[in-house]
Structure 1
Amino acid sequence: MAAALAATFSGCSNSDSNSAAPVGAAAPAVPQVGFVTLHGQQVPFVATVPGRTVASGVSEIRPQVSGIIQKRLFREGGEVKSGDVLYQIDDRLYRAALDSAKAAAERAKATVANAQAEFGRQGELARRNVASQQQLDVARAALAQAQADLAGANAAIETAQINLDNTRLTAPISGLIGTSLVTEGALVTANQTSALVTVRQTDPMFVDMTASSANLLRVRKMIAEGTLHQAGPSPEVRLTLEDGSQYREVGSIEAAEANVSETTGTVTIRARIGNPKHVLLPGMYVSATVAVGTGDKGFLLPQRAVSRNAKGQATAMFVTADGKAEQRVLQTQQSYHDAWLVYENVKEGDRLIVDGLQKLRNGEAVKTTEVGLDAQGVAQDATSSTTPSQ
């Protein structure tokens, strides 16, 4: 029994001795990272701002005469041209009024002719001293009255003709027409408050964009300092639609508000853009990219390599000359094709880490491989072998 216990304890002791860690433990592995070499380039300076599409013309159709709607002569939601007849109001009363005005004008013409003849006779008699001056004055006044009545009758004809023409409600502008708020047989009144239908001109289309006053000041400062060269008097505007697709037509800046909103601190800028296929509709949200100009030589850093610290500052990791990771704080100017444009704290030939950033610490030694980024931003080896940094 004693021998067995001794053998048991002896076995336990040998096992513990074999499981002990070796005296010289292996050092932690050096992190492997992929980098791209940065080269300065002139990049178009663009500003991406939100916007809403606005019809370039809006016309609310209201009747200028009262009557019953006889016909609706347009297709709701369709396209109409300037001058197209939209509604026909019962015109029988207005035709009768025009005929009555014409008859009154004929009577006035006859009265004028009679007054002219009477004035002529009285004038001849007055020269012979047969008629008195008073009789001549009465004839002259009667002629003037008849001529005034004729002018009034002609004006009544014009008014009646205008009223008759207004029984045909036409489109004052070309564009897309909405849904009718009245049906055939409805009674409408002259200059009523509610519109019968609305026509919106959508080609061209306006885009109202909002830009912060701070960004406008920054752009003006860059232009004044010569670091930003304007593209021209009217910068190009391109649109990204709500589904992420790019709108084909290219617009230009039309105008800008002369004041800053006190509530939002933004300025409204209006662009004008073609819309021949009516892809854009009033009220659509769009993202507008404005080509302000071309800046001095800068560096494009892939967005996947840039992160934010606790202060919200943009940071990126670089490989130093002695093969260590270095974190730098950057000031990004704008996004451009999935990259950030940076002018400061970066120099020609800097090695930007784009792969292996997980758990990478500032000042840590690294092994590097130069890589390239495909269209999706995925790192691809640019060299066939991995070499430590020198």
Structure 2
Amino acid sequence: MCLMAGLGAGLQGCSPAGGQAAPASAPPAPEVGVVTVAPGHADLATELPGRLEAFRVAQVRARAAGILQKRLFTEGSDVKAGQALFEIDAAPYRATLASAQATLARAEANLVQAQALADRYAPLAKTQAVSQQEALNAQAAALQARADVAAGKAAVQTAQINLGYAAVTSPIAGRIGRALVTEGALVGQGEATPLAVVQQVDKLYVNFTQSAAEVMRLRQALADGRLQRASGKEAAQVQVLLEDGSVYAEPGKLLFSDLSVDTTTGQITLRAELPNAKGQLLPGLYVRVRLTQAAVDAAITLPQQAVTRGATGESVLVVAEDGSVTARPVKLGPSQGGRALVLDGLKAGEKVVVDGLQRVKAGGKARAVPWAAPGSAPAAPASAASR
């Protein structure tokens, strides 16, 4: 009993005056990953949906009626302009040509006889050896014979053209698809029967659309001076992104934008030309087109996770030198390479929270450390995306 009392007294003697316990120390400020703002020049690129189209498409049709005798190409192969593709039975056309040539020969013989008679009667009519009517009849016969010769020549030319149609050739150079008819088929009877399709695919068109409202906003920003028009050699070029997300190696060249808006979709159609020398791309393929239309000098790019989107708009958390955290509303442009493009709201040198947003809030404290993307070296200051 005495021992316990003495021990209790000893413990009491070690307590602070008044018997109060020491206050607990405040928890340390949470650590957050930040990037430092460094504005710079950026080209504003927009990604738009598009579809590829063959540069030229030619439908090979039968212009001569008859039985198809031969197919002279391999389906899916490359053909040259003027290359023979099909043979139609040409016997009737050869016979028609021979008949037209014979008619022409007879007309030429008649012309020789009629002209000779007209030439003989002309001086005789002056001496009244023959009547004026006989001389006039001879001249008329010569003119009619000359007209018969002209008609005969036209008939021969027509027969030659029809005979040429019996050999069906490719109107353009390109890649030919499957044959739409087989040997033995009757073609060209009453209509120009489709035989095959040739497409030029060494270069392609890419047709894509852009919202008319977006175009108007862009034009207004350019007019207000908030953006600058993209200039230089690269301004009219586009990049094509394939379905797997990869970027096609060859850049395209913007050709034109439509002058009117589609009343059903509110979209404006644009077209670019795309090289395809290796035949990697095919007509009809769905792609996305990256189009550079404007540029901004004081642009800032941030990782997408740094931006918080709410009912009042977009904002980021900024850590001051004393560790205080504030929410900063920002104005964003189109995303650039998967990063958020900040057009307004931040200043050079400010530190924006990228990692640890769930551990801090506006009005609190934080300890800022440089942020690095997973699997990379520590991040450089946030700056404009390169061209």
1:97 lines up with 2:96 in the alignment: yes
Q: Which amino acid aligns with 1:262?
A: T
Q: Which amino acid aligns with 1:238?
A: Q
**1:128-183, CA deviations, whole angstroms, 9 ceiling, x for partnerless residues?**
32211111111111111111111000000110011011111111122222211101
1:256 lines up with 2:257 in the alignment: yes
The 10-residue stretch of structure 1 (169-178 or 318-327) with the greater mean CA deviation from structure 2: 318-327
Structure 1 residue 295, shift from structure 2 partner = 1.7
Q: How does 1:335-354 map to 2 (within 5 A)?
A: 335-354=335-354
- Paired with 1:250 and 1:380, the residues of 2 have a C-alpha distance of 31
- Paired with 2:40 and 2:354, the residues of 1 have a C-alpha distance of 19
**1:167-216, CA deviations, whole angstroms, 9 ceiling, x for partnerless residues?**
11111122222211101111101562652211122232111111111221
Identify if the C-alpha distance between structure 1 residues 382 and 300 changes in structure 2 by more than 3 Å, giving closer, same or farther. closer
The 10-residue stretch of structure 1 (122-131 or 170-179) with the greater mean CA deviation from structure 2: 122-131
1:304 lines up with 2:315 in the alignment: no
Structure 1 residue 341, shift from structure 2 partner = 1.5
Q: Which amino acid aligns with 2:267?
A: T
Identify if the C-alpha distance between structure 1 residues 281 and 381 changes in structure 2 by more than 3 Å, giving closer, same or farther. closer
Check conservation: 2:43, 2:230, Cα contact below 8 A. no
Q: How does 1:254-293 map to 2 (within 5 A)?
A: 254-293=255-294
Check conservation: 1:236, 1:250, Cα contact below 8 A. yes
The 10-residue stretch of structure 1 (59-68 or 358-367) with the greater mean CA deviation from structure 2: 358-367
Q: Which amino acid aligns with 2:362?
A: N
Q: How does 1:1-390 map to 2 (within 5 A)?
A: 27-28=26-27, 30-189=29-188, 192=191, 194-226=193-225, 227-232=227-232, 235-310=236-311, 313-373=313-373
The 10-residue stretch of structure 1 (35-44 or 70-79) with the greater mean CA deviation from structure 2: 70-79
**1:311-337, CA deviations, whole angstroms, 9 ceiling, x for partnerless residues?**
6x3332221343133223322212223
Structure 1 residue 71, shift from structure 2 partner = 1.2
Partner SS, residue 344 of structure 2:
coil
Check conservation: 2:324, 2:366, Cα contact below 8 A. yes
Alignment gaps of 5+ in structure 2: 1-20, 381-387
- Paired with 1:162 and 1:292, the residues of 2 have a C-alpha distance of 52
The 10-residue stretch of structure 1 (200-209 or 288-297) with the greater mean CA deviation from structure 2: 288-297
TM-score normalised by the chain length of structure 1: 0.85
CA RMSD of aligned residues (A): 2.2
State, as a whole percentage, how many aligned pairs show the same letter: 39
Partner SS, residue 107 of structure 2:
helix
Structure 1 residue 262, shift from structure 2 partner = 1.6
- Paired with 2:331 and 2:82, the residues of 1 have a C-alpha distance of 56
Partner SS, residue 105 of structure 1:
helix
Partner SS, residue 296 of structure 1:
strand
The answer for the alignment partner of 2:18 in structure 1 is none
Check conservation: 2:68, 2:187, Cα contact below 8 A. yes
Alignment gaps of 5+ in structure 1: 1-21, 384-390
Structure 1 residue 225, shift from structure 2 partner = 3.3
- Paired with 1:347 and 1:378, the residues of 2 have a C-alpha distance of 28
Identify if the C-alpha distance between structure 1 residues 26 and 380 changes in structure 2 by more than 3 Å, giving closer, same or farther. farther
Check conservation: 1:213, 1:265, Cα contact below 8 A. yes
- Paired with 1:62 and 1:102, the residues of 2 have a C-alpha distance of 28
The 10-residue stretch of structure 1 (117-126 or 100-109) with the greater mean CA deviation from structure 2: 117-126
Identify if the C-alpha distance between structure 1 residues 179 and 41 changes in structure 2 by more than 3 Å, giving closer, same or farther. same
**1:36-70, CA deviations, whole angstroms, 9 ceiling, x for partnerless residues?**
11101101221211111111211111111101111
Check conservation: 2:371, 2:378, Cα contact below 8 A. yes
TM-score normalised by the chain length of structure 2: 0.86
Check conservation: 1:355, 1:379, Cα contact below 8 A. no
- Paired with 1:38 and 1:378, the residues of 2 have a C-alpha distance of 22
- Paired with 2:245 and 2:174, the residues of 1 have a C-alpha distance of 26
Q: Which amino acid aligns with 1:315?
A: S
The 10-residue stretch of structure 1 (53-62 or 265-274) with the greater mean CA deviation from structure 2: 53-62
Check conservation: 1:62, 1:192, Cα contact below 8 A. no
Higher relative contact order (CA 8 A, sep 6+): 2
- Paired with 2:189 and 2:329, the residues of 1 have a C-alpha distance of 68
Give the count of matched residue pairs. Answer: 358
- Paired with 1:191 and 1:257, the residues of 2 have a C-alpha distance of 38
- Paired with 2:190 and 2:322, the residues of 1 have a C-alpha distance of 83
- Paired with 1:191 and 1:307, the residues of 2 have a C-alpha distance of 68
Identify if the C-alpha distance between structure 1 residues 344 and 110 changes in structure 2 by more than 3 Å, giving closer, same or farther. same
- Paired with 2:76 and 2:123, the residues of 1 have a C-alpha distance of 72
- Paired with 1:113 and 1:382, the residues of 2 have a C-alpha distance of 98
- Paired with 2:116 and 2:314, the residues of 1 have a C-alpha distance of 99
Partner SS, residue 50 of structure 1:
strand
Check conservation: 2:62, 2:192, Cα contact below 8 A. no
Q: Which amino acid aligns with 2:324?
A: K
**1:52-103, CA deviations, whole angstroms, 9 ceiling, x for partnerless residues?**
1111211111111101111111221222221111111111111111111111
- Paired with 2:294 and 2:237, the residues of 1 have a C-alpha distance of 9
Structure 1 residue 28, shift from structure 2 partner = 5.0
Check conservation: 2:68, 2:185, Cα contact below 8 A. yes
